[in-house]
């Protein structure tokens, strides 16, 4: 859609479907595995971060596209998610000792920051036809 290959309304339904799955499944995981003795792998931690943050983003995109809302609210939400992603990155680096996921969370934070710039600040971030920014 951001590349101009699909209309916002046509991708909105898919965003709602994916977002609903990514919110319902983590809530189920958290509700059934939040006891540390039953959840030694920390799956509820993973569910709370990656799935719910992504899920709410998909839901927000779907609602914004289907009803034609201004994207600035979605953009500000993306800034908040980018900040939370930095927290998850730091947790992975320094608490869980998982530098690979630390880097992955930094990359996701950068992506959400780009969405903030595009959607809330209304700045063009795509490359021009000659390849420059």
Supply the pTM of this predicted model.
Answer: 0.81
Residues 77, 102: Cα–Cα separation, whole Å: 21
Q: Any idea where the domains of the chain sit in the sequence?
A: 1-69, 70-133
Find all residues with CB under 8 Å of 132, minimum gap 6, and list them: none
Structure tokens at 115: 């969405």
Q: Please state, in angstroms and rounded to a whole number, the distance separating the CA atoms of residues 22 and 40.
A: 22
CB 50 within 8 A of CB 20: no
Give the whole-angstrom CA distance, residue 24 versus residue 13. 17
Task: State both tokens at 70.
Answer: 């201004």
pLDDT in tens, the chain (133 residues): 887 888 988 899 999 999 999 888 878 777 776 565 655 555 555 556 677 889 999 999 999 999 999 999 999 999 999 999 999 999 999 998 999 999 999 999 999 999 999 999 999 887 665 555 5
Q: How far apart are CA 16 and CA 132, in angstroms?
A: 34
């Amino acid at each position: 859609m951001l590349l101009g290959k699909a209309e916002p309304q046509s991708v909105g339904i898919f965003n709602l479907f994916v977002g609903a799955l990514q919110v319902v499944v983590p809530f189920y995981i958290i509700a059934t595995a939040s006891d540390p003795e039953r959840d030694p792998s920390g799956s509820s931690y993973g569910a709370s971060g990656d799935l719910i943050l992504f899920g709410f983003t998909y839901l927000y995109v779907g609602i914004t596209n289907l009803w034609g809302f201004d994207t600035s609210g979605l953009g500000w939400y993306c800034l908040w998610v980018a900040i939370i992603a930095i927290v998850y990155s730091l947790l992975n680096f320094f608490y869980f000792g998982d530098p690979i996921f630390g880097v992955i969370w930094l990359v996701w934070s950068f992506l959400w920051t780009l969405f903030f710039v595009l959607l809330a600040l209304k700045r063009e971030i795509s490359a021009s036809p000659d390849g420059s920014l």
